[in-house]
Amino acid sequence: MAMAGAEWKSLEECLEKHLPLPDLQEVKRVLYGKELRKLDLPREAFEAASREDFELQGYAFEAAEEQLRRPRIVRVGLVQNRTPLPADAPVAEQVSALHRRIKAIIEVAAMCGVNIICFQEAWTMPFAFCTREKLPWTEFAESAEDGPTTRFCQKLAKNHDMVVVSPILERDSEHGDVLWNTAVVISNSGAVLGKTRKNHIPRVGDFNESTYYMEGNLGHPVFQTQFGRIAVNICYGRHHPLNWLMYSINGAEIIFNPSATIGALSESLWPIEARNAAIANHCFTCAINRVGTEHFPNEFTSGDGKKAHQDFGYFYGSSYVAAPDGSRTPGLSRNQDGLLVAKLNLNLCQQVNDVWNFKMTGRYEMYARELAEAVKPNYRPTIVKE
């Protein structure tokens, strides 16, 4: 089966190139819910993005005016990027190069008025979990509370008055030096607001992450920021509807999904899952994926009888934001670093809830009872037979 790499820029570019305008409008209506207004971002921001060689796109989600509540406007920024140095460069140099790259991108986000920014999963490192090797990859792990990356993000957050969501490989030295796949949430004051951990760990293809860390033990925390209530559902958690649901039940208005995933495995699922979660949970979702192919020094196998290889496959970018009414932004490209800015009106969450009522019709008490039974070792599924 054909599987595009960097040469194929995006679904959107393909549609725009090949479809006559009336067809394009209908296709966009079906694929994206409705066409969103493009944000009027400052010229200097586009110039800086072009100088720094990354894509910049901005869209606005509107909500109806209300009599009693003011619009609750927040601008989110989603960052997707390649790893600037090869995976066999010294660890400290790779981390510094990524810090420099993110600093350049966040400066443009600040020009665009971004209030909350989120980076891709394990953003300070190559996605080395495919190798199953420990060194040097475990050396990328840092303290969530006061590691060099958290300190770096604290400065950025304070300087730019921006909430920063920083997904890292965490080393928890308070608890036996164990590793976790963690997102640190840093307030716009510069204080560490807290952390959340990846609840579902993949055991699929080369995603051998269970070799490095266990399923998160922090539940489904939601962080009250000055700009709204946010949660972080890390990568593979997006295949688990209950994971999204619990963040939503705890009050999340925006759920970020920092990811690292490749075309052969998930590209056809990507446009569906975060968008569906936004619809099902009456919230905004922000799906972020890394870009490019990362090559590792030593060969590894996928345990499927196929030849050993030195790369994971193609990380296809395509980051996007979806809204509770099912509308979504186009994706960033598949082959370029990028910053996607989206202006949200959080009033839309309650407005859609009042129309569709999924929280009211969800029958959670019935599922709680049935699930509590279904997980018991002696449970027998209810199958009606002739």
CA distances from 178 to 4, 138, 149, 214 (A): 37, 10, 18, 9
98 touches ligand URP by CB under 6 A: no
Nearer to ligand URP by Cβ, of 114 and 122: the residue is 122
Three-state SS string over the chain comes to CCCCCCCCCCHHHHHHHHCCHHHHHHHHHHHHCCCCEECCCCHHHHHHHHHCCCEEEEEECCCCCCCCCCCCEEEEEEEECCCCCCCCCCHHHHHHHHHHHHHHHHHHHHHCCCCEEECCCCCCCCCHHHHCCCCCHHHHCECCCCCHHHHHHHHHHHHHCCEEEEEEEEEEHHHCCEEEEEEEEECCCCCEEEEEECCCCCCECCECHHHCCCCCCCCCCCEEECCEEEEECCHHHHHCHHHHHHHHHCCCCEEEEECCCEHHHHCCCHHHHHHHHHHHHCCEEEEECCEECCEEEEEECCCCCCCCEEECCCEECCCEEECCCCCECCCCCCCCCEEEEEEEECHHHHHHHHHHCHHHHCCHHHHHHHHHHHCCCCCCCCCCCC
214 touches ligand URP by CB under 6 A: no
Q: Which stretch binds ligand URP (CB under 6 A): 83-91, 138-146, 255-263, 344-352?
A: 255-263
Q: If you search the block for the tokens 């986000």, which residue do you land on? A: 109
235 touches ligand URP by CB under 6 A: yes
Q: Judged by CB under 6 A, which of 61, 119, 137, 207 binds ligand URP?
A: 207
Radius of gyration for the alpha carbons in the chain, expressed in angstroms and rounded? 21
Nearer to ligand URP by Cβ, of 207 and 300: the residue is 207
CA distances from 29 to 34, 57, 161 (A): 5, 19, 36
Categorise residue 33: left if φ over 0, alpha if ψ from -120 to 50, beta otherwise.
left
Residues in 103-122 that interact with ligand URP by CB under 6 A = 121
Q: Which stretch binds ligand URP (CB under 6 A): 87-95, 220-228, 257-265, 373-381?
A: 257-265
Using CB under 6 A, count the residues that bind ligand URP. Answer: 10
Nearer to ligand URP by Cβ, of 158 and 240: the residue is 240
342 touches ligand URP by CB under 6 A: no
Q: Which stretch binds ligand URP (CB under 6 A): 7-15, 254-262, 302-310, 367-375?
A: 254-262
* Least separation in angstroms between CB 209 and ligand URP: 6
Q: Judged by CB under 6 A, which of 149, 261, 345, 351 binds ligand URP?
A: 261
Instruction: For residue 121, indicate whether it is catalytic.
Output: yes
* Least separation in angstroms between CB 34 and ligand URP: 27
Nearer to ligand URP by Cβ, of 34 and 240: the residue is 240
CA distance linking residue 101 with residue 183, whole number of Å: 19
* Least separation in angstroms between CB 218 and ligand URP: 17
48 touches ligand URP by CB under 6 A: no
Q: Judged by CB under 6 A, which of 230, 260, 323, 342 binds ligand URP?
A: 260
Q: Which stretch binds ligand URP (CB under 6 A): 46-54, 77-85, 102-110, 261-269?
A: 261-269
Nearer to ligand URP by Cβ, of 104 and 214: the residue is 214
24 touches ligand URP by CB under 6 A: no
Instruction: Give me the catalytic one of 28, 55, 112, 121.
Output: 121
Instruction: Give me the catalytic one of 28, 195, 198, 343.
Output: 198
Instruction: Give me the catalytic one of 112, 130, 153, 235.
Output: 235
254 touches ligand URP by CB under 6 A: no
206 touches ligand URP by CB under 6 A: no
Categorise residue 318: left if φ over 0, alpha if ψ from -120 to 50, beta otherwise.
left
Contact code string over 156-195 relative to ligand URP, x by CB under 6 A: ----------------------------------------
Q: Judged by CB under 6 A, which of 33, 126, 147, 202 binds ligand URP?
A: 202
265 touches ligand URP by CB under 6 A: yes
Residues that bind ligand URP (CB under 6 A): 121, 202, 207, 235-236, 259-261, 265-266
Hey, which residues are catalytic here?
121, 198, 235
